[in-house]
Amino acid sequence: MPKPQKHVFVCTQNRAEGHPRGSCAQKGCAEVMNEFMNQIQANNLFDKIGLTNTGCMGPCMLGASVLVYPEGVMYGQVKKEDVKTIIDEHLLGDQPVERLIVPAEVW
């Protein structure tokens, strides 16, 4: 991809059922990742938004975790339904979605 204006990293870490940390996979990260991809494709945002899946970024208890650079804004408990809001308000509108940002002690 070309260097994007905003780069979205979606944790897609999986862990075995019963693992004490849980994982973003158990919290629906695949749906979140797919929704970002679908929205980026449907609106032809490839030149503005980069999208990359990642391993664990740390705040497993608040998954699904979504990190946006260059700002370094970490979103937690992201659901499929939040993706359009993140795209419209933050990635295109440059206003981070405050209600989804993880607490400062987490990130």
CA 80/CA 69 separation, integer angstroms: 20
Q: Which residues contact 3 (CB under 8 A, 6 or more apart)?
A: 50
Task: Determine how many CB atoms are found less than 10 A away from the CB of residue 20.
Answer: 6
To which H or E segment does residue 54 belong? strand 49-54
Minimum distance of a second copy from residue 69's CB (angstroms): 4
Minimum distance of a second copy from residue 32's CB (angstroms): 14
Tell me which residues touch a second copy (CB under 8 A): 1-3, 7, 9, 12, 50, 52-58, 69-72, 74, 107
Minimum distance of a second copy from residue 44's CB (angstroms): 17
